[in-house]
Amino acid sequence: MATLEAHCEETEKALGRPYREVHLWLDEFFMSKEYGARHRRKKHHEQGIQEVIRLFGEEAGVAARMHIITDLKEEGWTEKDRFPRDEREYVAMGLF
């Protein structure tokens, strides 16, 4: 699992900023008892990116997409696979 620091380094290298607030927001449910490792289903999809854009701005949406793609690849997703639209589709795709 990519760490907060790894996500920040990736976006700082690509975008010139770490976007720590975006990575923290995306992983908000990681420490919850209800979701834990399955927290990605809550915000790691297109709907989550749109919320990041609303909250933090357009470039933050790019940082969010980078974060999500990194995490999806850890779950076996490839760029040939469709990008999940929302939580329902994320789960239907067998991602957790």
Intra-chain end-to-end CA distance of the chain, in Å = 13
CB 34 within 8 A of CB 50: no
- Contacts of residue 79, defined as CB under 8 A and 6 or more positions apart, other chains included, come to 69
Per-residue pLDDT tens over the stretch 67-91: 999 999 998 999 999 999 999 999 9
Q: Which H or E element spans position 70?
A: helix 58-74
pTM, two decimals, is 0.93
CA distance 34 to 52: 22
Residue closest to 64 by CA, chosen among 8, 13, 16? 8
Highest mean pLDDT among 34-38, 62-66, 91-95: 62-66
